Every structure is written in structure tokens, then in C-alpha cells.
Homo-oligomer: A and B are copies of this chain.
């Protein structure tokens, strides 16, 4: 995919996602809750997870029907809501105590801790609301697909996925983790939701869990989940807070293990490149068309080669 073509594809995708989030995250939620939710979700972030959903949906042919397109958009917004809620809670004083996120004060700094916790809680619930529209809403996402998307998202977010990874992270401060444990932690903490993003897009195209294409896209998602975190650690060690829009070097300062502290800078970069090759070769063996998988290929390259 030509870089300009990908730019056009992702610009269009992002416009759809921002517009849908703007509609679905309600300003009208009571007592300032809606304002705090919108502050935590809208107008920020690279929307990588949403782009993975939409790119996988395109690869799986979801865009051929209005229902598939609607389902993919809802899945894209739901994963962003889960990701955004996890950041809001992560930034709180009892967790990372971070005051800066995407170059702005974090939600609890702006709205107080209680409202930040509630906003995060409500964002998680909203993710499942968005996945389960009434028959009268949207373009009629089939109920069986609603259930499948909810299942994938819940499992990636909960104790066996993101929340479990955060618990390992909590317990790891000052510990000499080996590579297997570090990998397990990240596979849950960030990897599970990134892989689920790809799987949810694949589900919107009707790919069945026993198909070769589903397995290949899951492998792609798995590789990208790991690569994303490794690149994050590399950037955290090499870039300033200004470029990243968040406090840089915090993990190393907190004596938390990172891929860079474990593999060295070059080792981490090599590992990320190896995962990129794995992801691309998974796409090749998926049996899905070269054109259809072009956005996923371009996204993989962008994930590994990004500089912030």
C-alpha cells in the first residue's frame, strides 16, 4: 500500500471513529460524568486499536455489508473505550500517579479522583453498550455477532487479559523479572486488547474461529501486541516527554523491568523487527487478498517504525 493511500485510508477511518465516539460518549451523562468521560476518550491518542479493528474488518470482508461496517465501527469504538478507561484508572495516584497524558492534565487532575474512577467505570460499561445496540439503533448488527464481540472484548479486558497484566505489573516493581514473565505481563496488559482488536474486526467479517484466516489474523494480532510494547519501551528509553506526550522514562525510574532493560536497546529493536516479519508472514498465509490486507500490512509497519 502506497504511504499516501494508507494515509487516506487511516484519515477516513479516524474521522468515522472520532465522529462515532463523539456521538456515543454522552455529554448528557449526569453531574459532570459525561464531561469527564469525553475528556478521557475524545480527541486524543493514535487510535491504534480502532485502526486494527477496521483494518482487520476490511481484510475479512466486513465492509461488504452495512451490518458489517456498523459492527466494525462499534467494535472500534468499544476497544478505544476500554483502552481509554484503562489509562484513566492507570494514571490515578494509587496506580502510576501520572499527571500528564497526551500532553494534557490527566482526568483525575482535572476532575478529581472520584470522578475519574467513575468515568473509567462508566467507560467500561459504555464499551459493552456500544457493542449491543437495540434493534432500532444503527444498521442492525446481528445479535450473535454482538455476543461474539462482547465475549472477545470482555476476555481481553479482564483478569486473564488487561487487568491481569496490570496486576502483574503492580507486583513487579523492583523485581528482577525474567523474559518469560515480562512477556506474559505485556501479552496480557497490552497484547490481549490489541489481539482482540484484530479478532473483533475478523469476527465482523464473519470469519469462523476454526478457519485458517482467523488463525492467521490472530497470529498477526499476537505479534503486533508484543511488538507494540517493545517499541513503547524503546521509545520510552530514547525519546523525551515532549515527543511522547507523557512522562518518559518512568518505568526505568520506578525500577520496573522493560524490554530495553532486559534485552538491551539493540536487542529490543531486533525483536520488534522479527515480530513485524512474523506478522507480515501471517498475513501472507491468511488466504485473504493482498489488497484486502494492505491496511493491516501498513499498520504493522507503522507500529514498529513509529517514533512516538
> With A and B bound together, what is the CA distance between A172 and B114 in angstroms?
13
The answer to whether A1 has its CB under 8 Å from any CB of chain B is: no
Other A-B contacts than A126-B154, A143-B144, A146-B150, 11 sampled, CB-CB below 8 A, are A31-B170, A33-B164, A94-B117, A118-B167, A121-B163, A125-B154, A125-B158, A125-B161, A126-B158, A131-B150, A132-B151
A128 interface neighbour in B115, B154, B160, Cβ under 8 Å: B154
Chain A interface residue count, Cβ-Cβ cutoff 8 angstroms: 57
Q: Residue-by-residue, is A129-142 near B (CB-CB < 8 Å gives 1, otherwise 0)?
A: 10111100000000
Instruction: Let me know if B126 and A159 touch, CB within 8 A.
Output: yes
Chain B min CB distance to A54 (Å): 22
Tell me the residues in window 157-184 of chain A with beta carbons closer than 8 Å to chain B beta carbons. Answer: 157-161, 163-168, 170-172
A interface, CB within 8 angstroms of B? 26, 29-34, 37, 85-86, 89, 92, 94-95, 112-115, 117-118, 120-122, 124-126, 128-129, 131-134, 143-144, 146-148, 150-151, 153-155, 157-161, 163-168, 170-172, 188
Chain B residues, Cβ within 8 Å of A163: 33, 118, 121-122, 125
Chain B min CB distance to A181 (Å): 10
Chain B residues, Cβ within 8 Å of A164: 29-31, 33, 122
Instruction: Let me know if B29 and A159 touch, CB within 8 A.
Output: yes
Chain B min CB distance to A35 (Å): 10
